[in-house]
Amino acid sequence: MTDQNNKTNLILRAQNLSKSFGGVKAVVSVSFDLHEGELLGVIGPNGSGKTTLVNLITGFLKPDRGKIEYKGQDITGWTPYRIARIGIARTFQMIRPFAELPSFKNLIIPLYSPRVKALSGGKYGDLDAVAKDYLEEVGFERESSVTYKPAGSLPHGYLKRLELAKCLALRADLIILDELFSGLSIAELASIVPIIEKLVSEGKTVIMIEHRLRELFRIADRVVVLNYGSVIADGIPSEIMEKPEVRKAYLGSE
Amino acid sequence: MKQRRKERIDRGIKARSDDVFSLNSFREMLYVAVPPLAPVLILLILPLELPSYWQKVLVSTCVFALLAMSWDFLVGVGMVSLGQALFFGVGAYIAGISNKILGLPIWIDIPIATVLGGAICAVLLTPVLRLRGVYFSMVTLVLPLMLERIVEASGAFGGTEGISGITPFPNSYTESYLIVFATLFALFAFRRLVTTDYGLVLKAIKDNDRAVMSVGINIYWMKAQALFISGCVGAFCGAFITHVYGFVGMPSFALDYSILPLSSAVVGGMGTFAGSFLGAFILVPLSEALRGIGGLRIVLYSFFLVFFIVALPEGIFHYIQRKYQQFERWVEVDK
Amino acid sequence: MWEVAIIYGFINSVILALTALGFSLTFGISGVPNFAYGAMYIFAGFVSWLLLNKLELPFFASALIAIAFTAILGAAMYRFVLLRVRGLVISEVIATFGVGLIILELFRYLGFSGFEYTLPVFSDGSLLIGHTYVDYQRLWIVGVGILLAIGLYFFTHHTKIGLAFRGIAQDEHTALSLGINSDRIAGLSVAFGSGLAAVAAILILPRGTISVNDGYDVLINAMAVCIIGGLGSSVGVVLASFIIGYAQIMTDILSGPQWKMIISLIAILVILVVKPSGLLGKQKELEERI
């Protein structure tokens, strides 16, 4: 928290994060900084520890070693709900919506969060209406059938948007998207990318774990490459694939 | 090849009366009003009409309906209890002790037993909430049986003799109407609760606890609250029965209080509360009618339990509800 | 006095471990919570009694047949009940619990209670160890218990089916892709666990009369040991058995037998607060703990 501050505000700092599962080292001494308003891409071959890293940051796993600071506060070892309350939202790789509930009712859960309650002055109000507002923001047409359909029957593209809407509804400052693009068609991507770009332009900070490099490189400000749990490269997208160690890690897998 | 498929379509009257503002015939009003009003009217009239023996059956039916609803509520949050007897027994003993030993009047010791019992059960079970799956079932199964053995072996609270001479209710009408009102209140309150935002969050915990946690909701605290609510209902039943029998003892932790509610909820249909209610009103009087078979009672409940959970997991209530709201027809489909 | 405590503590621990191993093993392999476990135990006892007294088979034969029948009962429960609700934890719990109740309460209804329901001991007499008499039956229990533990270890580490068991336990998806039929293995694991309950019954029941209530007690004890040791961990189960086994004997000697159950209860509550997954619980951090 010293000389880094003069560029923009540091929002997240990971220092020497390590985690192993019974002998398998999933994340090895990972360090990186993240500044407000940045869109950071995290890439790496399968099993390189990307999702473990997300779980470490969001408190679903406790690091064996290392430290995580969010807005200058040490949040290492906090419970997931405490971390969410200070403004870190995430999506899951395996999207499991509350399938029987209508789409907009899915947003009641984040809207019920103590964070949202505190931000809206300590009272909940009519959450249904607010939920529909957020759905509109991610491209659900207001009062259309998709808003009322059970979330379990939504097409894939809408499910991903619903996940985004949950992060918005939580009014998070840092949003971590775990493989949001996977399984989306080009058309669906074209409709979801602008939503993410809009988020960043509004000052939100975003971390994207991605396998779809081309789409990611188009929007990311910076990319971190993981391999066997370690950071092997950290730089701007146009240069990252030129690095020999990155090419080596991806050879054969991409 | 032609094949057939069952098609279900909402009845016209259901579609018309779903919108509350457009009830425009007496028939539609009845269609909407009968299902919720029928149990209310029946329960309010029954205590006046029944002979005193069947009044006792009604009382115990209501108690089991309450226990079944409290079980159903926990299942809705993802906790499968095999020991509603724990809630029941804790409530029963608190009522017995505060009435007989502390000398509190009946109208004070029942509320105390309800709230304190719910709190004790929630505190006892809170540590299990950190684990998914069968742990909750294992611990809830073990605790009441262990408490029973401990009371037996240590002689605490009257030991095998129990505590007798507890103040009875002033008359049988007070007794019947108290439990009838409690049951109806719980039925409608639970049904209302699960549709509120709070109830939605509780249900979401069952579906996907990590997603709920990731938006900043402390699921352990929410589950502890659910335990408290369910525990209060169970403890109330215990306290109530203690005053009906004028006695509290080891049987309060008996397996009956765990199994019958479970069977009622499963047979009636989980997740609706009306199912639990219906299930209890089928099984308890049935077992009274079949009193001749004595010990076969639990076998019968258990058989219903296994049969319904394997073959008809939706339960009776869902079936009736479907028939009431939809009609079915076979349509041919091309394969 | 300490000699008594040490010897009887050991015996008590082996008994606890014997009664809990089957439950833990089934759960460890296939994730099936067999709440009918206590019923299997009693079933084995009564079947072997019936074979012995009604058909007048020799004890050894009736014991073996009873063990086989119990294993078949376990397999049948899997095939006809559990298979239909596989993967739905709520239904699995309720269904096995229900099956257990049907078996136990049916025996009670059919009048299986009284002093005539006893199984013979393997051999009469007792042995003087130091200054403490220990009857041969208890020595049998300890001996067979230890042999069984060693046998199980070799079975799971060196036989084909044992390795398949462990494969499923560790990673069901990988095992499936290797051609291991997880449904069959799960069925076998339930049968196997039930068989172990039967072995425990044949060994332990001769110490007294067979009563239906023992079924519930066995279930409670098995649960207690599994909760404390950690579900699915056989080493944890043995460790927990020795902790509770000795703790029970110590409280028995120091303050009387009525406090034995309290020790188990306190142990459960303490372990749940301190380490909810049990001493050696193999809870996968993300999947089962929340």
Structural domains in chain B, CATH included, are 63-310 (1.10.3470)
C78 in any annotated domain: yes
Q: Which residues of B touch C212 (CB under 8 A)?
A: none
Confidence of residue C74 (pLDDT cuts 50, 70, 90): very high
Report the residue count for chain B: 335
By CA distance, what is C88's nearest residue in B?
B133
Residue (of B4, B15, B16, B1) closest to B329 by Cα position: B4
Confidence of residue C283 (pLDDT cuts 50, 70, 90): low
Residue (of B238, B231, B319, B307) closest to B272 by Cα position: B319
Residue A5 has pLDDT above 50, yes or no: no
Best probe of the A interface among C171, C286, C290, by most A CBs < 10 A, is: C286
Q: Which residues of B touch A120 (CB under 8 A)?
A: none
Residue A182 has pLDDT above 80, yes or no: yes
C25 in any annotated domain: yes
- Summarize pLDDT for B14-47 with one digit per residue, the tens: 776 666 566 667 777 787 777 788 888 888 888 7
For residue B114, the Cα-to-chain-centroid distance in whole angstroms is: 15
Quote the tokens at residue B104. Answer: 């509190």
For residue C227, the Cα-to-chain-centroid distance in whole angstroms is: 13
**CB–CB contacts below 8 A, A to C:** 5
By CA distance, what is C285's nearest residue in A?
A61
Higher pLDDT pick, C153 / C49: C49
What mean pLDDT, rounded, does chain B reach? 85
Task: Determine the pLDDT at residue B121.
Answer: 92
Sheet with A10-21, strands from edge to edge, namely: A24-35, A10-21, A65-70, A73-74
Question: Is A60 in Cβ contact with B219 (below 8 Å)?
Answer: no
Place of tokens 């095999």: B82
C131 in any annotated domain: no
Most confident range, picked from C97-106, C123-132, C157-166: C97-106
Phi, psi at residue C178, to the nearest 5°?
Answer: -90, 5
C216 touches chain B (CB under 8 A): yes
A214 touches chain B (CB under 8 A): no
C279 in any annotated domain: no
Residue C180 has pLDDT above 80, yes or no: no
Task: Determine the pLDDT at residue B72.
Answer: 93
- Across the range A79-91, mean pLDDT stands at 91
- Cα–Cα dist C218/C73, whole Å: 18
Please calculate the CA angle B159-B160-B166 and round it to the nearest 5 degrees.
75
All CATH 3.40.50.300 domain ranges of chain A, comma separated, are: 1-80+175-183+205-254, 88-172
Chain B partners (3+ C-beta pairs within 8 A): A, C
Quote the tokens at residue C89. Answer: 């934890």
Task: Determine the pLDDT at residue A4.
Answer: 44
C39 in any annotated domain: yes
Best probe of the A interface among B207, B210, B214, B225, by most A CBs < 10 A, is: B214
The CA–CA distances, whole Å, from B195 to A58, B200, B202 equal: 30, 6, 10
Q: Which residues of A touch B216 (CB under 8 A)?
A: 81-82, 84-85, 110, 113-115, 170
A152 touches chain B (CB under 8 A): no
C90 touches chain A (CB under 8 A): no
C76 in any annotated domain: yes
Residue C259 has pLDDT above 80, yes or no: no
A21 touches chain B (CB under 8 A): no
- Summarize pLDDT for A93-115 with one digit per residue, the tens: 888 888 888 888 888 889 888 88
Place of tokens 């049904």: B191
Task: Determine the pLDDT at residue A98.
Answer: 85
C105 touches chain B (CB under 8 A): yes
- Across the range C137-157, mean pLDDT stands at 83
Task: Determine the pLDDT at residue C53.
Answer: 84
Q: What is the CATH number of the domain that holds C209?
A: 1.10.3470
Quote the tokens at residue A105. Answer: 């009712």
- Summarize pLDDT for B74-119 with one digit per residue, the tens: 999 988 888 889 999 999 999 999 988 888 888 888 999 999 999 9
Is B330 in contact with B3 (CB distance < 8 Å)? no
Q: Between β-strands C132-135 and C126-129, what pairing exists: parallel, antiparallel or unpaired? A: antiparallel
Most confident range, picked from A210-219, B60-69, B124-133, B285-294: B60-69
CA dihedral B313→B314→B317→B319, nearest 10 degrees, is -120
Residue A31 has pLDDT above 80, yes or no: yes
A211 touches chain B (CB under 8 A): no
Is A216 in contact with A43 (CB distance < 8 Å)? yes
C109 in any annotated domain: yes
- CATH fourth-level superfamily of A88-172: P-loop containing nucleotide triphosphate hydrolases (3.40.50.300)
Quote the tokens at residue B333. Answer: 């489909």
Best probe of the A interface among B18, B215, B225, B272, by most A CBs < 10 A, is: B215
C285 touches chain A (CB under 8 A): yes
Question: Is C286 in Cβ contact with A21 (below 8 Å)?
Answer: no
C129 in any annotated domain: no
By CA distance, what is C284's nearest residue in A?
A21
What is the C-alpha R_g of chain A? 18
- In this complex, the residue of B142, B213, B295 whose CB is nearest that of residue C109 is B295
**CB–CB contacts below 8 A, B to C:** 137
Q: What is the total count of domains within chain C?
A: 1
Task: Determine the pLDDT at residue A7.
Answer: 54
Level-2 CATH architecture, domain A1-80+175-183+205-254: 3-Layer(aba) Sandwich (3.40)
SS3 C286: coil
State whether the Cα torsion C107-C111-C114-C118 is positive or negative: negative
Residue C185 belongs to domain spanning? 2-122+137-274
Best probe of the B interface among C96, C237, C272, C287, by most B CBs < 10 A, is: C272
C127-136: Cβ within 8 A, 24+ apart = C129/C3, C129/C7, C130/C3, C130/C7, C131/C3, C132/C3, C132/C4, C132/C7, C132/C8, C134/C7, C134/C11
A92 touches chain C (CB under 8 A): no
Residue C287 has pLDDT above 60, yes or no: no
- Across the range C92-114, mean pLDDT stands at 87
Q: Which residues of C touch A60 (CB under 8 A)?
A: 286
